[in-house]
């Protein structure tokens, strides 16, 4: 796994702009761009801040899940994870009803 490519993959999946993530991580946009292009390797503390900006842990970052889902479905899943259990249950029922049509 190339660390920079993985950062870009997660950032794009979460629809976070490069400038926004750089700000959240406390690094320059140029430095983050170099990391994403695998030109520079971040130190662990920097990678931790990048992960925090992405809303994931280091463990999540290194758990490479190869998803066969379309990017749109991945974004839906990311959004659904943020819902309350009651909202998730309602969403499940709604999707089941839509699937029966």
Write the pLDDT tens digit of every residue in 55-75: 988 888 888 655 556 777 778
Cβ neighbourhood burial of 6 (10 Å; 0-12, 13-18, 19+)? middle
| Cβ-contact 49, 35 below 8 angstroms | no
| pLDDT of 9 above 60 | yes
Per cent of the chain over pLDDT 70 is 94
What is the average per-residue pLDDT within 90-101? 86
pLDDT score, position 51: 95
Which residue segments constitute the domains of the chain, with CATH numbers given? 3-62 (1.10.260.40), 71-100 (no CATH)
- DSSP secondary structure code for residue 15 in this structure: T
| pLDDT of 43 above 90 | yes
């Amino acid at each position: 796994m190339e660390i920079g490519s993985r950062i870009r993959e997660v950032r794009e999946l979460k629809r976070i702009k490069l400038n926004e993530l750089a700000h959240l991580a406390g690094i320059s946009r140029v430095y983050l761009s170099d990391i994403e292009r695998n030109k520079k390797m971040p130190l662990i503390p920097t990678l931790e801040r990048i992960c925090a900006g992405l809303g994931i842990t280091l463990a999540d970052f290194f758990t490479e899940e190869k998803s066969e889902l379309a990017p749109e479905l991945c974004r839906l899943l990311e959004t659904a994870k943020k819902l309350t259990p009651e909202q998730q249950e309602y969403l499940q029922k709604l999707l089941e009803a839509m699937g029966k049509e």
